[in-house]
Structure 1
Amino acid sequence: MTVTDRPTIRDAPDHRVPARRGRPGRVNGRQPIGALLVTPYLVFLLVVFAYPLCYAVYISFHDYFFAAPGAVVDRPFVGLQNYRTVLADPAVRRSFVNVGIFLVINVPLTAVLSLTLAGALNKAVRWRTFFRVSYYVPYVTASVAVVGVWLFLFNSDGLVNSILGPLAPDPSWLVSSALAMPTVAVYVTWKQLGFFILLYLAALQNLSKDLYEAAAMDGAGRFASFWNVTVPGVRPATTLVVLLATVTGANLFTEPYLLTGGGGPDGASASPVLIMYQRGIEQGSPDIGAAIGILLVIGVLLLALVERRLVGRDD
């Protein structure tokens, strides 16, 4: 072979990778299987949440009443009249005050207790699994069964008053205008505590142990390590806990309905959802009930926005 017969670079086969035209199976750069998997939940949200909310807004602006299926009736537009009626109702105003008292007690108590107990359960202590399950059992237990236990404890002649003796409040816990809603708030905190403990446990297990070792080397004690390492480290979980406790607390219904016989005494433990049920279903005024619900949604959204700004400002 002569020099001129040697293959040149120009004659070598081209091994360059062809330009990527998009991965197979993708549509506009997205994987359609992901959208397919999300579709059932999206349909669920639209049917169960979005449509009822939009329909409730429609009802709240009309003179709406129940009619026989298929009946064509006139439901005129009344503007803000239903909202004026709601805001002028003393029972409705008191229910919003009641739920405000409930949230002031329940939300901080839930966040503090769940974080403290999660920190204790995150350590290598004996019977750790047993305690984790014990705290979670009330959350998954039917409310009717648990309410029966609390009625036994906090009735006028219940176990708590028997232990307190002359120190027991009179009137008792669930029949006192001043103590009914705080008692309901403590009950809800206890019942839901297991769920929020699990949220904090998941957050604590993602914290690096090096942070605690560094804090110990700097001379920080247990409380200083908890305040300067644990609390900032679980701030995203705290934001979630506060928001979830606020939303679930604002939708309070079962607990006052069962514990205090429907918001007693004299409406001291009535919640907006309970009043909405009484006005809309029992008294046949769904337009009034819808107006209460829309006001509650607006209030919860504003409160959640404020909490997000305050609690999650560093996220």
Structure 2
Amino acid sequence: MPSKNAGNTLQDESTRPAGGQSPLKTKKRKGVTERNRPLWMLTPGGFLITVIILIPLALALYMSVIDLDQYTLRKWLTTPFVGLDNYIEAITKTDLLRSIWISISFAVLSTIITVPLGVAAAVVTQNPYRGRAIVRAVFLIPYVLPSFVVATVWRTMLQPDGIVNSVLNNVGIDPALWLNGPMSYWTLVGVEIWAAWPFIYLLALAGLQSVDMEVHEAAAIDGALWWRKLREVIFPYLKGPVALAFLLGTLNHINNFTLPYVLFGAPAPADVNVLPILVYVTSFQSFRFGLSAAMAVVSLILIAIPLFIYLRAVKLDVSDEGGKK
């Protein structure tokens, strides 16, 4: 007569998986696989980031510390190492500092003007009324047009014998050189504002969609005037989108190459010789690839500073909200 222990042994053998592995070990191996699954899902994105961002960044850093030009390009792996000489030359012997100042001032001025325009347009088109769809479509025209198309149209209009000077001459105002000289800076600012404000408009409009209708109803019941309603109801909801729009708009203006290149050509006039144009001319017209790489690294650092400040502020804001909860 078989004993109880023998029956338990037979039951354990029947539940043992094939291959002699215990259920505990199988479960542990399954747990390790599930724990590593998110890392495997991130592999395609990590591969693209490495190929598209990290490898070109490493090449740019390497090029910035070697004497790479049209004569040493064929044997760039054996090009002499010059250390920080390219950075020193870029700061002391080129127009890098002037270009940085032009880029920053032009970008900040454009953003300061486009943010109120975009927010005002979003407030105007938030509530439904007859013809709102047409107004929204018209507002988006500068945004959907490619930058080179915008620059080409404005370049044609701002020629010395273009339509702008013709209209000014007809109303008794002296024509101006819009594409050269001191007026070229304000031309760049004006065209950039015309092309960029719909982006702020879209971000502000998206932020307005998050405003609860009950808040509007409560403000109406309390008899709040339109200005007080904007200041105490709508603007608090737009704080995050407007801050993001200010940052993205400023960085986009600094990095904009197509519009000044098509509008003024290369090399550009001294008053609009922005940083992307300077890097392009140094690299593809002067063929100083190492020097241009050093300029590109400086521009990357310039862009990373406000981005780091914004991300730090957002992180602190999230931490404060978590602490309050």
Instruction: Give the aligned partner of residue 48 of structure 1.
Output: 52
- In the alignment, is residue 299 of structure 1 matched against residue 302 of structure 2? yes
Contact persistence 2:282–2:292 (CA under 8 A): yes
Among 174, 181, 189, the residue aligned to 2:179: 174
Alignment partners' CA distance in 2, 1:254 and 1:54: 25
Contact persistence 1:115–1:197 (CA under 8 A): yes
Contact persistence 1:95–1:272 (CA under 8 A): yes
Worse-superposed segment, 254-263 or 61-70: 61-70
Distance 1:270 1:70, change over 3 A: closer
- In the alignment, is residue 96 of structure 1 matched against residue 103 of structure 2? no
Deviation, structure 1 residue 90: 4.4
- In the alignment, is residue 276 of structure 1 matched against residue 279 of structure 2? yes
Alignment partners' CA distance in 1, 2:101 and 2:204: 30
Which SS does the other structure have where 1:51 is aligned?
Answer: helix
Deviation, structure 1 residue 69: 8.3
Deviation, structure 1 residue 261: 2.3
Alignment partners' CA distance in 1, 2:186 and 2:267: 13
Alignment partners' CA distance in 1, 2:172 and 2:283: 41
Q: Higher helix fraction: Structure 1 or Structure 2?
A: 2
Q: Which amino acid aligns with 1:269?
A: V
Worse-superposed segment, 227-236 or 187-196: 187-196
Identity over the aligned pairs, expressed in percent? Answer: 28
Contact persistence 2:61–2:294 (CA under 8 A): yes
Q: Indicate the RMSD between aligned Cα atoms, in angstroms.
A: 3.0
Within 5 Å, which residues of 2 pair with 1:71-110? 71=75, 74-110=78-114
Stretches of structure 1 that go unaligned for 5 or more consecutive residues are 1-20
Alignment partners' CA distance in 2, 1:280 and 1:163: 40
Instruction: Give the aligned partner of residue 13 of structure 1.
Output: none
Among 233, 237, 242, the residue aligned to 2:246: 242
Contact persistence 1:61–1:77 (CA under 8 A): yes
Contact persistence 1:95–1:270 (CA under 8 A): yes
Distance 1:58 1:261, change over 3 A: same
Contact persistence 1:98–1:271 (CA under 8 A): yes
Which SS does the other structure have where 1:76 is aligned?
Answer: coil
- In the alignment, is residue 286 of structure 1 matched against residue 279 of structure 2? no
Normalising by structure 1, we get a TM-score of 0.80
Instruction: Give the aligned partner of residue 200 of structure 1.
Output: 204
* 1:250-292 Cα distance to aligned partner (Å, 9 max, x none): 1121111111122533x21111111111111221111110111
Among 54, 57, 60, the residue aligned to 2:61: 57
Which SS does the other structure have where 1:124 is aligned?
Answer: coil
Normalising by structure 2, we get a TM-score of 0.78
Among 261, 265, 282, the residue aligned to 2:265: 261
* 1:229-268 Cα distance to aligned partner (Å, 9 max, x none): 2222022211221121122111121111111122533x21
Which SS does the other structure have where 1:278 is aligned?
Answer: helix
Worse-superposed segment, 146-155 or 282-291: 146-155
Which SS does the other structure have where 1:220 is aligned?
Answer: coil
Distance 1:169 1:274, change over 3 A: farther
Deviation, structure 1 residue 228: 2.1
Which SS does the other structure have where 2:129 is aligned?
Answer: coil
Instruction: Give the aligned partner of residue 217 of structure 2.
Output: 213
Deviation, structure 1 residue 55: 1.4
Deviation, structure 1 residue 125: 2.3
